[in-house]
Structure 1
Amino acid sequence: MRVLHVIVCLDVGGAEMMLRRLIESHKDNPEYEHIVVSLTDIGCLGQQMQELGTRVVSLRMRSGLEFCSVLFRLRNLIRKFSPNVVQTWMYHADLLGGLAARLAGNKNILWGIHSTDVRAGGSRMTTWVMRVCAKVSRWVPDTILCVAEVSRQVHIAAGYFEPRTLVLPNGIDTARLVSNDDRRRAIRNTCGFTDDHIVIGTLGRFNPAKDYGNFVSAAGIIAEKYLHVRFVMVGSHLNGDNATLREWIDKTGFSERFVLLGQRSDAPDCLAAMDIFCLSSKSEALPTVVIEAMGMGVPCVATDVGDTRVLVQDIGIVVPREDSAALAAGLEKVIEMPAEERHALACIGKARVRENYTIERARDRLEALYTEIVNRNR
């Protein structure tokens, strides 16, 4: 089975990480060959895929003005590699990859939707592309994959062709979710945290949809009430060079309680260093970082976005989005829990992740779908 993937870029992100995990899960299976086409640059994840032996092609698209030229270059690549399935990831790739595959005579097209509310973190161009995708969704893709049920419902309401939409949650590589007390303690020591501190953390890239202003505001409320609570933020542009973030933190009056670690390669250890994980987003579909936090045994407080409520259910706290007071109240509930109760919730969360959200489970469902699509259009 040869699968050609079309994706906007290959920097760190939820969809990009899922693609890398899928390729890694097939690295010892000669029955599957993956080819990845990035509409822009290869990025750090593209380099990792190349190291796994995967062919990665960069089209270096810089603006929408190149739409037609990139469309025909992509069509030629699809003709050249003759994949069994063309799988696209996110709106721009769905539109370009879907049209290019159709022009190349390939009907085995699998679209991928990884968001719930594009307006919360997307540009006007992205919103326009999503609307065009909705209009052509009846005839371009064979199947439309959404990572969350809420995402499926939102896109159907926006005009996506309902009979072709399915839900297939992302999966994580639980084998990578490992840390130990020494590594946990090393990060906490680096941050200046002691065993007496309760550490509330967040992890992800700096993006409007993540609503880190909400996190900082809630942290300020908590800091005023609890002297022993500290805050750590991990991810791209979550560092001291981010003037906007520094301004938000300074306004709380408790800047000495915050540690900004920026982008790191040891996410499991960073999660292990947290006592509570906080998702402050105003838009998500199925937030992989919550799955990872649960898989690391960290209790979660999350905003009610996408399928977060399905993930957390009765083992964490879900609060309204864009409401710092509600987020602080949710965090306070977990802070006030006895350590034994937090530990019990963490154990249930780990078990839920390993039962429902592994890359092996997602891979098996994708393999079945690939075969179904190829047989249907043969």
Structure 2
Amino acid sequence: MKVIHVIIGLNLGGAELMLFRLSEALNGDDDQEHSVISLTDYGKLGPILTSKGVSVTALGMRNILDVPRVSYKLWQIFRLRKPDIVQTWMYHADLIGGIVARFSGIKNIIWGVRSTNIHRGVSKVTRGIRILCVFFSYVIPKLIVCAAEASRKAHVRIGYSQRRMTVIPNGFDTKLLTATLEDRMQIRTAAGFSESDLVVGSLGRYNPAKDHDNFITAAAFLAKDYPNLKFLLVGRELDLENEVVMKRIRETGYSDRFVLLGERHDVARCLKAMDIFCLHSQTEGFPNVLGEAMTMGLPCVTTDVGDASFLIGDTGTVVEPHNALALAEALRYLVVAGETFRLDLGKKAQRRIHENFTMSCVKLRFKSLYDHLSLDDS
């Protein structure tokens, strides 16, 4: 079976990482051949996928004026490779890849929908593309795969075809999400943390939807009561050059408690350096980073966004979004509860991931989906 995946780009992000893990997991199967087309460039994940034996093609789209040229290139690739299935990821790829695949005579088209809060964090162009996707959802895809139940409900509300939708939560490669005590000490030493410091961590790129202001405000509530409490922020644009974040940190009066590491590729090592993990977003779909923290055995506090509550289950604390006081109190509970309680809660979170959200589970669900489409054609 030949499957071509189409995505807008291959930089680090939830959809991109899920595609990376899925294509890597499936490409080793004798009956599966998966390749990836990026509408823009190779990004950071493209070369890594190529090194793992996955065919990756970048079409070089720079703006909306490139759409005709890129669509023609895509049509040529589809006509040449004759895939059994075209699977697209997120709005831009759903629209462009879906239409071109249909004009190429391909019937088995799978769309990918991930966002949950559809009213925030998107440009006017993306909103326009989503409106077109609402209309075409009834005629182009055979199936629409949502990464979260919350995402499915949100898109049904705005008019997406409900009967074509199914939910496959993200999976985590537990073999890759490991780090040693030595890794922990190296990160903590480089960050200036002592052995007695209790580190509350956040991981995710700087973006209004991630609501870092919420985390910084909650941290300020706690800092005055717990001198050994430190706060670690990891993610793209979370560095000393981010004037907005640095201004907010200075305003707390506790600048010395915050460490910003910027974008990192050693996610597991960074998580290992933390004692408590906090997801503070205003909106999410299926929050990968929360699952990664749980996989690493961290006790977690999360805002009630997307499928975060479903993912964390009874292994952590859920608070309403954009409520810094509630976030601070949930974190305070874990600080006061003590190390033994935090370790036990982290182990419980880790077991939940291993039992329900591994890449093996996701791989089986997607294979079943592909087989179902193939049977429909026979």
Which residue in 2 is equivalent to 1:14? 14
How far apart, CA to CA, are the structure 2 residues paired with 1:210 and 1:150? 17
Which residue in 1 is equivalent to 2:65? 65
| Equivalent residue letter for 1:329 | E
Which residue in 2 is equivalent to 1:94? 94
Which residue in 2 is equivalent to 1:334? 334
Deviation of 1:129 (Å): 1.1
Matches within 5 A, 1:199-278: 199-278=199-278
- Range moving further from structure 2, 3-12 or 187-196: 187-196
SS at match of 1:87: strand
Deviation of 1:322 (Å): 1.3
Which residue in 2 is equivalent to 1:359? 359
Give the fraction of aligned pairs with identical amino acids, expressed as a percent. Answer: 43
Deviation of 1:284 (Å): 0.5
Which residue in 2 is equivalent to 1:26? 26
SS at match of 2:44: helix
How far apart, CA to CA, are the structure 1 residues paired with 2:241 and 2:171? 33
SS at match of 1:174: coil
Deviations 1:307-338 (A, max 9, x none): 11111122111111111111111111111112
Which residue in 1 is equivalent to 2:349? 349
- Range moving further from structure 2, 28-37 or 263-272: 28-37
SS at match of 2:231: strand
Is the counterpart of residue 148 in structure 1 residue 148 in structure 2? Answer: yes
Deviations 1:185-212 (A, max 9, x none): 1111111112211100011111221111
Deviation of 1:120 (Å): 2.2
Deviations 1:286-313 (A, max 9, x none): 1011001001000111110001111112
How far apart, CA to CA, are the structure 2 residues paired with 1:307 and 1:33? 31
Deviation of 1:245 (Å): 1.5
Matches within 5 A, 1:121-140: 121-140=121-140
Deviation of 1:26 (Å): 2.8
| Equivalent residue letter for 1:117 | N
The number of residues matched between the two structures is 378
Deviations 1:165-197 (A, max 9, x none): 000001111001111111111111111112211
Which residue in 1 is equivalent to 2:168? 168
| Equivalent residue letter for 2:279 | L
- Range moving further from structure 2, 138-147 or 328-337: 328-337
Deviation of 1:135 (Å): 1.3
| Equivalent residue letter for 1:69 | R
The answer to whether the Cα contact below 8 Å between 1:108 and 1:142 also exists between their aligned partners in 2 is: yes
How far apart, CA to CA, are the structure 1 residues paired with 2:265 and 2:291? 17
The answer to whether the Cα contact below 8 Å between 1:120 and 1:282 also exists between their aligned partners in 2 is: no
Is the counterpart of residue 294 in structure 1 residue 294 in structure 2? Answer: yes
SS at match of 2:313: helix
SS at match of 1:122: coil
| Equivalent residue letter for 2:233 | M
- Range moving further from structure 2, 250-259 or 158-167: 250-259
SS at match of 1:227: coil
Q: If the length of structure 1 is used for normalisation, what is the TM-score? A: 0.97
Stretches (4+) displaced over 3 A: none
Deviation of 1:249 (Å): 1.2
Which residue in 2 is equivalent to 1:312? 312
The answer to whether the Cα contact below 8 Å between 1:218 and 1:324 also exists between their aligned partners in 2 is: yes
Deviation of 1:66 (Å): 2.4
- Range moving further from structure 2, 1-10 or 218-227: 218-227
Which residue in 1 is equivalent to 2:372? 372
- Range moving further from structure 2, 186-195 or 86-95: 186-195
| Equivalent residue letter for 1:346 | G
Deviation of 1:64 (Å): 1.6
The answer to whether the Cα contact below 8 Å between 2:118 and 2:154 also exists between their aligned partners in 1 is: no
Deviation of 1:69 (Å): 2.7
| Equivalent residue letter for 1:323 | N
Unaligned runs of 5+ in 1: none
How far apart, CA to CA, are the structure 1 residues paired with 2:24 and 2:101? 25
SS at match of 2:314: helix
| Equivalent residue letter for 2:40 | T
Deviation of 1:27 (Å): 4.2
Unaligned runs of 5+ in 2: none
The answer to whether the Cα contact below 8 Å between 1:6 and 1:38 also exists between their aligned partners in 2 is: yes
The answer to whether the Cα contact below 8 Å between 1:27 and 1:52 also exists between their aligned partners in 2 is: no
How far apart, CA to CA, are the structure 2 residues paired with 1:103 and 1:82? 13
SS at match of 2:111: strand
Deviation of 1:370 (Å): 0.7
